[in-house]
Structure 1
Amino acid sequence: MKHIITAFIFSGILMSCNSSDKTKTTTETTADIETTEVSESTESKTQLKAITTDEDLIATALMAAPEESRAGSKVIGYNMAGEFVTLKEGDNEFIVLADDPNKKGFNAACYHKDLEPFMARGRALKAEGKKHQEIFDIREIEAKAGKFKIPTGATLHVYSGPKAEFDPETSKVDEAKLRYVVYLPWATAESTGLPEKPVASNHPWIMNPGTHRAHIMISPLADESN
């Protein structure tokens, strides 16, 4: 009888130990998984990179263009050597102006190729040392004289932000956002029904109404991500 009781007690101790070991193993395994997931999550966070090469300029500039059109978009602008060149040839309707690496922050723009005479004239006047209002006035006179035409509805996509660092995996620039400019030459608040001042973020309004440079502005939401 004593032997039978002893056997029962011994079996109970073994079962208790096995249960404890399983609980410990399960807890340790769960902890290991959680630690691994946290580690992988931390490691997957990509380090931002400064724009230091012409390839970086092209990659970040193309973020201004619609995603499906980036491969065929032409990219122009200042290269890292400070020369205004064609950084990438294109075969679709878009021209992308890359960020100027010698200026603070980031600013790239994508526009329809039919806007190039207007844009090129602005760049030429700026190179001559003309200020913003002078450029506006000169192009106003020239537009009225028919020296160039701004197509109604032609759109400018501006991708800009306070920093010039980007994610090398996605080419997204840190804190950069998109805003849109839709050109409507000579349009007014009355002809469009749009306000002449912004009502709120992401709401359209008309800027420079009644001029060659009249356009609808659509700015990004204040809390919008890249």
Structure 2
Amino acid sequence: MKHIISAIFFTGILMSCNSSDKTKTTIEETAPKETTVENAPDKTNNNLKPIDSDEALIATALMAAPEVSRADCKVIGYNMAGEFVTLKEGNNEFIVLADDPKKEGFSAACYHKDLEPFMARGRALKAEGKKHQEIFDIREEEVKSGKLKIPTGATLHIYYGKSTLYDPATAKVDGARLRYVVYMPYATAESTGLPESPAASNHPWIMNPGTHRAHIMISPLPE
């Protein structure tokens, strides 16, 4: 019986967040509510190496973007020296935010360039020392006033995991998976027909309904 209770308790913890803390603080998207299982490092792959160069940051970040678009994506983020810079120039519709090498775990994101003003505003407010709710409230007012815009249907691709080891031959981060966010400002469960919590893993649901940050969340299947 004690084992069953422990298992239930542990499952409850997992249900509160299925991503690394880095995903939440860097991308500013809250993790899904459903229970998921993080992949364990692949101990059979002897080619895994740490992400310890700007080139590795770029290569692994691009895994967040659709494969056919990776070559022409712009990549921004912190370099190994801790400076927020443009790591790679690009000329298509995507911007990729690289993993922050100074934070635990791995998290990179790809989004449409029209989302950059919204994302940049969040980064600026965070740099000012604003907390999550303050950032939310400020951007809520700025979107309502028309100062900020969030394109309806713009998608955020989040590539995340606990490991910071990757395979240089493929650029895949060990155990990392993709989660998708589709922005639908001010959408609700009633206006979309989607539930406010997932029916099961990989089922879409609407998060932050009725606010500027309303979005459809699609999380990966547990493996």
TM-score (norm 2): 0.80
- Secondary structure at the residue paired with 2:86? strand
Once the two structures are superposed, the pairs formed by residues 1-226 of structure 1 within 5 Å of their partners are: 45-223=45-223
Please list the CA deviations of residues 151-183 of structure 1 after superposition, one character each: whole Å capped at 9, or x if unmatched: 000000000000111011000000100000000
Structure with more of its chain in helix, by fraction: 1
Q: CA deviation at 1:45?
A: 4.6
Larger radius of gyration: 1
1:187 to partner: Cα distance: 0.3
Q: How many angstroms apart in 2 are the aligned matches of 1:102 and 1:199?
A: 35
Aligned to 1:220, the other structure's residue is in SS state coil
The aligned length equals 180
The alpha-carbon deviation at position 46 of structure 1 amounts to 4.2
In structure 2, distance between residues paired with 1:168 and 1:100: 18
Q: How much does 1:148 deviate? A: 1.2
3-state SS of paired residue (2:121): helix
SS at match of 1:61: helix
- Moved >2 Å (runs of 4+): none
**Identity score, percent:** 80
Distance 1:188 1:217 in 2: 13
The whole-number CA distance in structure 1 between the counterparts of 2:195 and 2:108 is 27
Counterpart of 1:175, as a letter, is G
Helix, strand or coil: the match of 2:170? coil
CA distance in 1, matches of 2:142, 2:136: 10
Instruction: Give ranges in structure 1 of 5+ residues lacking alignment.
Output: 1-43
RMSD over aligned CA atoms reads: 1.0
Matched residue of 1:170: which SS?
coil
The answer to which structure, 1 or 2, has the higher relative contact order (CA under 8 A, 6+ apart) is 2
Per the alignment, in what secondary structure is the counterpart of residue 116 of structure 2?
helix
Distance in 2 separating the partners of 1:149 and 1:45: 44
Q: Which amino acid aligns with 1:145?
A: S
Secondary structure of 1:70's partner?
Answer: helix
SS in 2 for 1:157: strand
Structure 2: gaps of 5 or more residues: 1-43
Could you tell me how far apart the structure 2 residues matched to 1:95 and 1:45 are? 30
TM-score with structure 1 setting the length:
0.79
